[in-house]
Amino acid sequence: SMVIQNEVIGISSWNFYPLNITNSTWETVVTVECDNCGENVSPGGYKYMSSYPILTMKYGAPPGMTWKDGAYEYDIRSYSTTGDETISLTKDSSKYREGLWFVGVHSSYSASEDITYTLSIDRNTCPNGCSGRGTKCNIDVNDTRTCECEKGYFKDDCSAEAKPLAYDTPMIDVIEDSYYEYFQLPTISAKQASRNIDIKLRASYTGYDCPSHWSSCHPSLLVKKGGGTEYPEMESYTFKQELLQENGTDEILICSSQLADGVWRGAIYNPRKWIPINYTVEVIKDSHCLNNCSGRG
């Protein structure tokens, strides 16, 4: 890896770094750690429009930020809500090309002072170096690479961890700079599952609101059966419920017999990852009588 410390960039300025990508380079990860970026945000909470620098890469020439000849003047760019920006290029990406690339660090037009940062460039043989949580790197015939993860971690780069969720104990957390936060549903015994018990998974959020007809704008609550390499995504889930209103509560009803039949993982999905959201998730066991005790209970 290569680390360049104490780099300085002026307001509305660029710093460029040439980078040679060869056939032996499977993944390149570039990170900027900002030393003095402020917390001021623009209206609507878009931090990437404030003092945080923007990290870009372009093949063959230094990148820019304008639209030119039907495309932006970069091939890859970061969208982060924190001072740490990361972008990556993998060999199985449609944007991958061998040869000379340029990394560009652009200071925001809204910055009020020069920015000091550290630039890191890492070259990995497996996705994200398996996040330091891998036991093995698997390579298929197409040179696609995935990690075998230590227990408790998942995704191709072992970057995800499902936080344990307990019955009747709300989990309150924040999604700061990602699309997903994961949790694992509690188990239920076969004896309890044979009784008349409903399992209700409830979620709410704050951070931004959307018009009700903007379905792709709302966060979602997702659930999927399976542990190990199985986890919920917007493209793969067992149950899904959109969170249709800020400060509102939505729920998914799960049969207790389903929870008794293996591991279940859940997730909160934030489609607008550049805007942080606070969320609350709670799972409740709701016992009830058959036929409401026929009114005699």
193 and 96 share one domain: no
Q: Is the pLDDT of residue 47 over 70?
A: no
Whichever domain contains 81, its CATH number is 2.60.120.380
Is there a domain that residue 57 lies in? yes
Is there a domain that residue 263 lies in? yes
Across the chain, mean pLDDT equals 86
Tell which residue, 28, 58, 5, has the closest CA to residue 122: 28
List, for residues 61-92, the tens digit of each pLDDT value. Answer: 999 988 888 888 999 998 765 568 899 999 88
- Which pLDDT value is given to residue 196? 73
- Which pLDDT value is given to residue 168? 93
8 and 93 share one domain: yes
Is there a domain that residue 296 lies in? no
Please enumerate in sequence order all residues whose Cβ is within 8 A of that of 149, keeping only pairs 6 or more positions apart, or say none: 130, 133, 134, 135, 155, 158
How much is the CA Rg of the chain, to the nearest whole Å?
A: 23
238 and 220 share one domain: yes
Q: Is the pLDDT of residue 49 over 60?
A: no
DSSP state of 155: S
Tell which residue, 250, 220, 245, 249, has the closest CA to residue 235: 220
CB–CB of 232/252 below 8 Å? no
**pLDDT confidence band for 11 (50 / 70 / 90):** confident
- Which pLDDT value is given to residue 293? 46
List, for residues 136-153, the tens digit of each pLDDT value. Answer: 999 888 888 889 999 889
**What's the average model confidence in pLDDT over 3-28?**
92
Residue range(s) defining the domain that contains residue 222: 162-291
CA distance 5 to 117: 7
Torsion over CA: 118, 178, 247, 208 (sign): positive
190 and 154 share one domain: no
Whichever domain contains 140, its CATH number is 2.10.25
Task: Indicate the number of domains in the chain.
Answer: 3
List, for residues 179-231, the tens digit of each pLDDT value. Answer: 899 999 998 877 776 777 788 999 999 998 887 777 678 999 999 998 888 99
DSSP state of 259: H
Which of 46-55, 87-96, 154-163, 249-258 is predicted least confidently? 46-55
Going from the C-alpha of 150 to that of each of 106, 136, 160, the distances in angstroms are: 37, 9, 11
Is there a domain that residue 282 lies in? yes
Q: What percent of the chain has pLDDT over 90?
A: 52
Tell which residue, 155, 145, 127, 143, has the closest CA to residue 29: 127
166 and 155 share one domain: no
Decide the pairing of beta strands 197-206 and 277-287: antiparallel
179 and 272 share one domain: yes
- Which pLDDT value is given to residue 183? 95
Is there a domain that residue 195 lies in? yes
Backbone dihedral angles phi then psi of residue 148, each to the nearest 5 degrees? -95, 125
70 and 155 share one domain: no
